């Protein structure tokens, strides 16, 4: 059992230590804007903010996410670069 802070809410998650964050967010939490795409950090379908930094979730294990602040597309404004797909603009937005 892990406690993850997702979109400002602490959630108790029953998951295996090696389970990928993308699956936990999508399948166990039900936030479906975070999706599994390529699995090799290329397509961006699985990107979220982790402690304010844009990050892939297809390579993050749930056991390493306790104590971190995870923000999905559901909690971001429609014009946020992560939502619009204009990731190159995100650095200016997040600083």
| pLDDT tens for each residue of 5-37 | 999 999 999 999 999 999 999 999 999 888 887
Residue 94's pLDDT band (boundaries 50, 70, 90)?
very low
Task: Please classify residue 47 by burial: count the beta carbons closer than 10 Å to its beta carbon, then call 0-12 exposed, 13-18 middle and 19+ buried.
Answer: buried
- Structural domain of residue 14, as residue ranges? 2-94
Say how many domains are in the chain.
1
Residue 88: the pLDDT is 57
| Residue appearing with tokens 């379908």 | 45
């Amino acid at each position: 059992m892990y406690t993850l802070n997702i979109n400002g809410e602490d959630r108790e998650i029953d998951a295996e230590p090696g389970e990928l964050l993308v699956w936990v967010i999508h399948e166990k939490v039900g936030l479906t804007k975070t999706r599994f795409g390529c699995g090799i950090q290329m397509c961006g379908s699985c990107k979220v903010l982790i402690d304010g930094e844009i990050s892939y979730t297809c390579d993050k294990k749930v056991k390493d996410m306790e104590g971190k602040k995870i923000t999905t597309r559901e909690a971001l404004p429609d014009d946020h670069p992560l939502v619009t797909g204009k990731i190159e603009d995100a650095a200016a937005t997040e600083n």
